[in-house]
Structure 1
Amino acid sequence: MSDIEELQRRITAAMDQIAFGVDRIAAKPAAPDPDTLQQLEDERTANAQLQERVRGLRTKSEAEQAQLRAALDEAEARMAQLDIELQRVRRANAQLADACAALREANTEGVGEPHLINKAMLAELEGLRAARAADVAEASVILASLQPLIDQSSPAAEDS
């Protein structure tokens, strides 16, 4: 019987120790693991760095878009100027054709009219001016198109 009492006493003592340990665990708040805290802080730092990079990339992208829009607007303006000059050439050529037709008609009748000759010469001069302006506008468009290629190749040539 003494063995039973001894075993009962040991079981009661073990149960008391378990209850005391459970009470102590329940009363004490669980502290986070220092490794987990360090990993969390590292992740926060990495997240902040990534957010900063995203902000920088967004700013750079917006700046590049603004430059592209400006270049596009400039190209459209050059093309509009070229179109205006080509229309001027067409009008001048139409005037020249009309003046030449009037001169031919006056020649067939045997009447040389000085004002028709002057009108034809003025139309021809206007046609030449318009053709030159169209050439200048076209050259401007071509140069504007080639400039980015020249800019890209310049650093490569300097490095060689």
Structure 2
Amino acid sequence: MSEIEEYERRLAMAFERISYSVERLSTRAPAAAAAVPAPSAPAAPAAPAADPAEVAALKSALDDERLANAQLEERVKAIRSKQDTQVSALETKVRGQKEVLARLEGELSRLRQATEALRASNLALREANEAGVGKPELINDGLRAELESLHAERAAERAEVETVLALMTPLLEDAAAGGTTDTEEMA
């Protein structure tokens, strides 16, 4: 953004110089007309209102400044376009990472629930064993809860690996593409 501000400052200064030069020329013309003697007096050849070489130089400078202005406007457009593209890409990355994190949170929640069920089943099994009553349905419930806990743990680990891969993939692609980083691209 500092480049844009610098260009705008330079353009403003150039337009001020041009305005000053035009004002100087326009004040010279009335002053030269006022200096012309009255018609009753012998007429001397009137001096030109402005030096044609100076007018041509000012017009050339004005054209140069207009060209520079057009070029700066194009650069500003290109910078803004690049910035919009980068913002869009970053928003897409953030959205993808949020989705991955949401899946991870879901799997971790499932793991917590399975672990809680396993604890409850194991507690019931211990109490039955202390009472001397071996109930096969409690053993089956305990095994089911343990199996579910193992499935949830594996799913959570898989989601965690996917999260790490999702975070590492853009970095690896950048490194493979020539080692540029997001901060270098914005400069």
- Can you list the C-alpha shifts for 1:107-151, whole angstroms capped at 9, x where unaligned? 111211111111111111111111111111111111111112211
Q: 1:124 aligns with which of 135, 146, 156?
A: 146
- 1-structure distance, mates of 2:119, 2:94: 37
Q: Say yes or no: does 1:150 pair with 2:172.
A: yes
Percent identical across equivalent pairs?
38
Relative contact order higher in (CA < 8 Å, ≥ 6 apart): 1
**Mapping of 1:5-154 within 5 angstroms?**
16=42, 19-22=43-46, 25=48, 33-154=55-176
- Can you list the C-alpha shifts for 1:12-55, whole angstroms capped at 9, x where unaligned? xxx73xx4323x646xx875622221121111111111101111
Structure with more of its chain in helix, by fraction = 1
Q: Normalization by structure 1: what TM-score?
A: 0.78
- 2-structure distance, mates of 1:59, 1:25: 50
Would you identify which runs of 4 or more consecutive aligned residues in structure 1 move more than 6 Å?
Answer: none
- 1-structure distance, mates of 2:44, 2:159: 95
Query: Secondary structure at the residue paired with 1:82?
Result: helix
Higher CA-based Rg: 1
Residue segments in structure 2 that go unaligned for 5+ positions in a row: 1-40, 180-187
| Backbone CA RMSD of aligned residues | 2.0
